[in-house]
Amino acid sequence: MSVQSTRIALDDQQSVSGLLHKPAQPIACYVLAHGAGAGMQHPFMNSVADGLADRHVATLRYQFPYMEAGTKRPDRPAVAQGAVQAAVEGAAGLMPGIPLFAGGKSFGGRMTSQAQAATPLPGIRGLIFLGFPLHPQGKPASTRADHLSHVAIPMLFLQGGRDKLASPPLLTQVTHGLGKRATLIVIEHADHSFHVPARSGTTDMQAMTVLLDALAAWVGRLAQ
C-alpha cells in the first residue's frame, strides 16, 4: 500500500489537503469525508483507510475548508458540497479507470449525499454513510433525510445500534422508503463513533471489522 499526500483544488485560489491510500491492486476508490468535529487524520478515519486498503479498496480522504483553516464551525452546505465535488474530481484524476464511491463519517456523509442530490457526482457508483446523522441527539426526526429521495444511485448505511443521532425505527423507515437503492447494516452495540461498551462482549476492533467487511463486500459487488 502507498500513502500519497495531495492537494485538492476548490477553485483557482483555494485548495485543501488530501490523503490517498492506494493498495497494490485496488478494486475501487472511496472518496471519504470526515465528520464535523475532527479532520481526515482522526484515528477512526485512519483505521477505515488502513482497513479498506487491506481489503483492496483505495480511499481519498480530504479536509473541508473550515477544518483546513483550523476553525471549529462547519462550512455552509454549499461550501461543503463544493469540496465534495472537488474531491470526487480529484479522485477521478488520481485513480483513472477505477470505480468510485463517495460518502463519509456523519457530517461528511450527509454533505456528500446533499451534493449528489443537487447535482449527480460524476462517475460515482454508490454512496456510503458511516453513521448517517439523521437528527440531533434527543430530537428524533427524519427531515435530514428528505433529500435522499433525489439520490438515484445505491446507498449503504453503516450504523451503530446505539447511535443517538439516528433512531433505529426512524432510520429503518427512511431506508425502507428508499427501496432497493438503500442497504442498512446495523453494527450491534455500537454508538455514533462505532464504540462498543465492554459489557457488550464485543470490542471496538471487532465492530470495525464488521463495518469494513460489509463495506468492502458491498463495494466489490457494485464495482464489478
Of 147 and 12, the structure prediction assigns the larger pLDDT to 147
> pLDDT per residue over 103-119, tens digit each?
999 999 999 999 999 99
Q: Which of 25, 11, 21 is nearest to 41 (CA)?
A: 21
Which residue matches cell numbers 482497513?
51
The DSSP secondary-structure symbol of 224 reads -
Half-sphere exposure of 180 (CA within 13 A, CB side): 0
Annotated domain spans of the chain: 2-223
The reply to whether CATH 3.40.50.1820 applies to domain 2-223 is yes
Q: Which of 199, 171, 169, 195 is nearest to 183 (CA)?
A: 171
Q: Is the pLDDT of residue 28 over 90?
A: yes
pLDDT interval class at 1 (50, 70, 90)? confident
Helix (H) or strand (E) holding 31: strand 28-33
Q: Is the pLDDT of residue 160 over 90?
A: yes
Cα 66 to Cα 107: distance, rounded to the nearest angstrom = 13
Q: What is the mean pLDDT of the chain?
A: 96
> pLDDT per residue over 192-217, tens digit each?
999 999 899 899 999 999 999 999 99
Cα 72 to Cα 90: distance, rounded to the nearest angstrom = 25
Task: Give the predicted TM-score (pTM) of the model.
Answer: 0.97
Where are the alpha helices (H) located in the chain, listed in sequence order? 43-54, 65-68, 77-94, 107-118, 168-177, 204-223
